[in-house]
Amino acid sequence: MQILIRSLLEQLGEDPSREGLLKTPERVEKSMKFLTSGYTADIPDILNGALFTVDYSEMVIVRDIDFYSLCEHHLLPFFGKCHVAYVPRTQVIGLSKIPRLVDVFSRRLQVQERLTNEIAECIRETIDPLGVGVIMQGTHLCMAMRGVEKQNSATVTSAMLGTFRSDARTRAEFLQLVK
């Protein structure tokens, strides 16, 4: 990877041997490995047994989860807030594990639409709740820094599964609580 980064710098007209760029290939490699570490993450290890049987059937929400990802089209960052809700059937997930799941799927080359669905599907597959809702609001630097150059635009995506899709009251409650 470092050889490719050196070549990229040369193709951009830079001198990779100048002082400010000497360690750039090493730093970029380390950064890219961290920013795409979701590919090697193991969901059961992330959850670490934090699934608990409970007698609780009301909505559980973890909101305002910061996320950072890379656009798969331009390799530029997109970032924002994620809100996750579910209505348990028999199990709940330890609250700190939900932001960790968001990180796993965010740390891949992504589009926001797929990212939203992957988080919802993972929770559905993990605990089989009555429903799952995920809303993400993101700022995409590929839109702000290049292309249309719209710095104040936001992209909002949602995934509504189970009762969040079939029951308008459940969906409305979720939307109101994360407003």
Positions marked active-site: 71-74, 112, 140, 142
For 125, counting Cβ atoms within 10 Å of its Cβ (0-12 exposed, 13-18 middle, 19+ buried), the class is: exposed
DSSP codes, 120-145 = HHHHHHHH--SEEEEEEEEEEHHHHT
Q: Give me 152's structure tokens.
A: 């104040």
Cβ neighbors of 142 (< 8 A, separation 6 or more) are 71, 73, 74, 76, 78
